[in-house]
Homo-oligomer: A and B are copies of this chain.
């Protein structure tokens, strides 16, 4: 890389690295510091400076990617019934996310799912709205609900939509308050 302003775009670098890492993860399910550095057009050392451990990098990517999932919730709740909001979120957003982020899931060494707090927060908001509306049983951990959706990681490339709908149907019956 030839001469170029350095200090100026430290933040820019962070972003470039995250983008590169995200694509690597999507594509290969694996993060190689060297590969990321190359793709981000940055020295390896820079990647290390920003993200000393692979975990740091993966979690940063996760946070960045999951952002949208979290942000979309309020608008869904505003425009749909609680049930519709839940179904739409799962099928229209979460499913697609998990489909394409399989790499992420593997990289994050399964079992850390509960740590995905922002995603859990999003799901919890939907759950609560439904509990308030009397459409989801009040006894039910958000974690359990999340886990019932864990199968979304194993969707098929070409039929994912139908599969996600089938799963959400099953889950909805499982959580629906039928009093």
Contact = CB atoms under 8 A, between A and B. Distances in A.
A119 to B, nearest CB: 12
Interface stretch (A2-10, A57-65, A72-80, A110-118): A110-118
Nearest to A164: B147
A114 B159 CA distance: 12
Stoichiometry, copies per complex? 4
B148 A171 contact: yes
A175 interface: yes
A102 interface: yes
Nearest to A175: B170
Given A110-B102, A156-B114, A166 B144 contact: yes
A101 to B, nearest CB: 10
A121 to B, nearest CB: 17
Contacts of A179: none
A155 B111 contact: yes
A145 B151 CA distance: 9
Interface in A120-176: 140-141, 143-157, 163, 166-167, 170-175
Contact of A147 (B105, B145, B167, B173): B167
Given A140-B170, A173-B174, 16 more contacts: A102-B109, A111-B155, A111-B157, A144-B163, A144-B166, A145-B170, A146-B151, A147-B151, A147-B166, A147-B167, A148-B171, A150-B151, A150-B154, A151-B151, A170-B174, A173-B173
